Amino acid sequence: MFESPDQIVDLSNPIDESIPTWPTFEPVRCEQTDWAARDGFTMERIEMASHTATHVDAPRHFIPEGRTLDDFSIEKFMGEGVVLDLAPKEPENGITKSEIEQYESEIQSGDVVMLHTGWDEHYGRTPEYLFEFPFLTGEAAEYLASQSPKAVGIDTASVGGWVDEAPAHGPATDVQPDESHLPLLENDIIPIEELRNLDTVLDGQDSRRAFFCYTPLNYQGTGGGSVRAFAML
């Protein structure tokens, strides 16, 4: 008989018009188009980029002929894995191969590898969250890919650092986004970005195994999509 998990931890950021989006994206628009008292039902129109809030990337995000979300079976978006504690991280500081390599014995082939940096503490329209977040160095991304995980998640805005210009903030790193993404995407390893509450999963441990779900809607032909991510313990 199926046994229910002892604990379910929500790993997803909320979605409304006030949330931080990637600085070059349009903000979320959520308009209530119908009201139950007036129309007999309530309905909203929501507009946002596909890589908004907690979301996954597909290879097409960086690879012109790469696979899209619908090219993967639903099993690709769930699985057993491990959270690795990398906190605390300094602003604009890359995650190195050596930081992850110390957990090599904890990572199994096919795992969902979740990287806890603690950066969800800065969540919001803040310079720290939008621009100064930790990211994977190319070497770290290549090392992770060599471990053959199913997916790699992180509690920051992206696995790649901020390299663009905004009116109030310049680049935070010279590590280009493709250096962080391509080692994963070229091997059909799914990045999961903008997670939260990985510290709750860890529960004071340096690493901890759990079963993770991060399923998008059944989008067709897209390079990514928002997800409802959670851990079962």
- Indicate which CATH number applies to the domain containing 222: 3.50.30.50
Give me the pLDDT at residue 188, please: 98
Average pLDDT over residues 66-89: 98
3, part of any domain: no
pLDDT in tens, 136-172: 999 999 999 999 999 999 999 999 999 999 999 999 9
125, part of any domain: yes
The answer to whether residue 90 scores a pLDDT higher than 80 is: yes
Are the CB atoms for 12 and 227 separated by under 8 Å? yes
127, part of any domain: yes
146, part of any domain: yes
pTM for this entry: 0.97
Average pLDDT over residues 65-81: 98
The answer to whether residue 101 scores a pLDDT higher than 90 is: yes
22, part of any domain: no
DSSP strand pairing (78-85 vs 112-116): parallel
Contacts of 127 by beta carbon, 8 Å cutoff, 6+ apart: 168, 169
129, part of any domain: yes
Q: How many angstroms separate the Cα of 11 from the Cα of each of 54, 88, 114, 155, 164?
A: 8, 19, 11, 9, 27
The answer to whether residue 73 scores a pLDDT higher than 90 is: yes
Give me the pLDDT at residue 23, please: 96
35, part of any domain: no
**Total structural domains within the chain:** 1
pLDDT in tens, 177-213: 999 999 999 999 999 999 999 999 999 999 999 999 9
pLDDT in tens, 215-232: 999 999 999 999 999 999
pLDDT in tens, 8-62: 999 999 999 999 999 999 999 999 999 999 999 999 999 999 999 999 999 999 9
62, part of any domain: yes
- 3 falls in which pLDDT band (50, 70, 90)? confident
The residue segments making up the domain with residue 139 are 8-14+50-232
- 2 falls in which pLDDT band (50, 70, 90)? confident
- Angle between helices 138-146 and 177-185 in degrees, nearest 10: 10
CA atoms within 13 A of residue 217's CA, in its CB half-sphere:
7
